[in-house]
Amino acid sequence: MKAAVIVFPGSNCDRDCAVAVERSTGAKVEMVWHKDTALPDGLDLIVLPGGFSYGDYLRCGAMAALSPVMKEVIAAANRGVATVGICNGFQILCEAGLLPGALLRNEGLKYVCKPIALEVTNAQTRFTAGYQGRREVMMTIGNGEGNFFADAETLARIEGEGQVVFRYVENPNGSVADIAGIINDGGNVLGMMPHPDRAFEADLGSADGAILFQSALASA
Amino acid sequence: MKATVHVFLKPGVLDVQGKAVENALHGLGWADVKDVRVGRVITFDVGGTDKAAVEAEVKAMCDKLLANTVIESYRIEVG
C-alpha cells in the first residue's frame, strides 16, 4: 500500500497526515512537493493536507489548485485513485474543480478549533465503509473558512446523489445543510473540513480518523 | 493598458465581513447603513491595445484565477 501527501508552501498538517496514515494503515507514505510534475508510481491514496497554502492569498486554496503537481493529482483522481483533501485540502479540491461548492468565511467570523461530533451521512463510500453503520464519529476542526456553500441546484444534486458524507451534529460555522464533508460523483474524491489526521489514536481523544484511512486503503 | 477587476461575493452569498463592518458602522451612529459588502480590487498593467481583446483576456483571468465564480462575481474596467 502506498500513499502520497502533497506538500504546498504553507501546508502545516502534512507531517500529521503522513504519521496518521502510516500508523493507522502501515502504508508507505511519500511526501510530494507541490512543484513536482509527477506522482510516485502505484499510489493507492493521495492526501491534500490542512494548512494555509500560499498564505491563503486571494482565496483559500486558489493558488495551490494551480500548482504544477495538481495537474497530476487531477489526472490521478480522474483515473479513480482515492484522494482526500482535509481542511485546506478540501478548499484546494473545490478550487481545482474536483469537488462542487466552495468554502466561505465562518458565519461567526471566528476561527473555530475544537473536537466535534459528525454524523456519518453516507457510510457506503470507500472512505466510510469501515464505520460499519456507526452513525456518529468524533474528530476535530480547526478553520476560519470552513463554511461550505453550494447553490440550491448543486446542493439538491449532491444531496440526491448521496455525495454528502459527513454532517456536523452541531453546526460550528454556518455550513449549508450542516455539511462537513462531501465526495465527488465518482466516489473516489473526498473533501472534509474536520481532521481525521488529528484523530487517529485514542490518546488524541478519538481514533475515528484512523478508520477513514484504513477504509480508503482497504478498498484500493 | 490598465486593468481593474472588482470581485465581490454574489448577492445571496452571506458576506460575514460585510455584516461585521455594517454592525461597526451602526455602532458609530450611522444607523441607516445597510447591505454592506466587502470585496476586493485587483489592478494591473496588461499588454495589448485593442480594448475588446484585452477585456476578453482579463475575463479569462477572472474565470481561471481572480474570482471563484461559484461564490463571486466580478466587474472589469480596462483603459
pLDDT greater than 80 at residue A125: yes
Q: Enter the CATH code of domain B2-78.
A: 3.30.1280.10
- Here the cell at position A165 is 458524507
Map out the domains of chain B as residue ranges: 2-78
Q: Does the pLDDT value for residue A96 go beyond 80? A: yes
> In chain B, which residue's Cα lies nearest the Cα of A107?
B16
Cell of A163: 455525495
- Model confidence at A206, pLDDT cuts 50, 70, 90, reads very high
Mean pLDDT score of chain A = 97
The interface pTM score, or ipTM, of the predicted complex is: 0.89
One-character DSSP codes across chain A: -EEEEEE-TTB-SHHHHHHHHHHHH--EEEEEETT-SSPPTT-SEEEE--B-GGGG-SSTTTTGGGSHHHHHHHHHHHHT-EEEEETHHHHHHHHTTSSSSEEEPPTTSS-EEEEEEEEES-TTSTTTGGGTT--EEEEEEEESS-EEE--HHHHHHHHHTT-EEEEESS-SS--GGGEEEEE-TTS-EEEESSBGGG-SBGGGTB-HHHHHHHHHHHT-
Whether residues B17 and A109 touch (CB distance < 8 A) is answered with yes
The residue-averaged pLDDT of B11-22 equals 93
> Count of CB atoms within 10 A of residue B20's CB?
14
Read off φ and ψ for residue A139, nearest 5 degrees: -140, -170
Q: Domains, chain A, ranges and CATH?
A: 2-218 (3.40.50.880)
Q: Is there a contact between A104 and B70 if contact means CB atoms under 8 Å apart?
A: no
Q: Cβ A104–B17 below 8 Å, yes or no?
A: no
pLDDT tens-digit readout, A38-74: 999 999 999 999 999 999 999 999 999 999 999 999 9
pLDDT in the model for residue A220: 72
Please tell me the predicted confidence (pLDDT) of residue A27.
Answer: 96
pLDDT of A144-165, one tens digit each? 999 999 999 999 999 999 999 9
Residue of B70, B72, B73 for testing the chain A interface, max A β-carbons within 10 Å: B70
Choice among A17, A34, A60, A195 that is catalytic = A195
pLDDT at B46: 96
Active-site residue flag, A87: yes
Check B70 against A94: CB less than 8 A apart.
yes
In this structure, what are the phi and psi dihedrals at residue B47, rounded to the nearest 5 degrees?
A: -70, 170
- Give the number of C-alpha atoms closer than 13 A to the C-alpha of residue A6, restricted to the C-beta side: 34
Query: What pLDDT does residue B23 have?
Result: 96
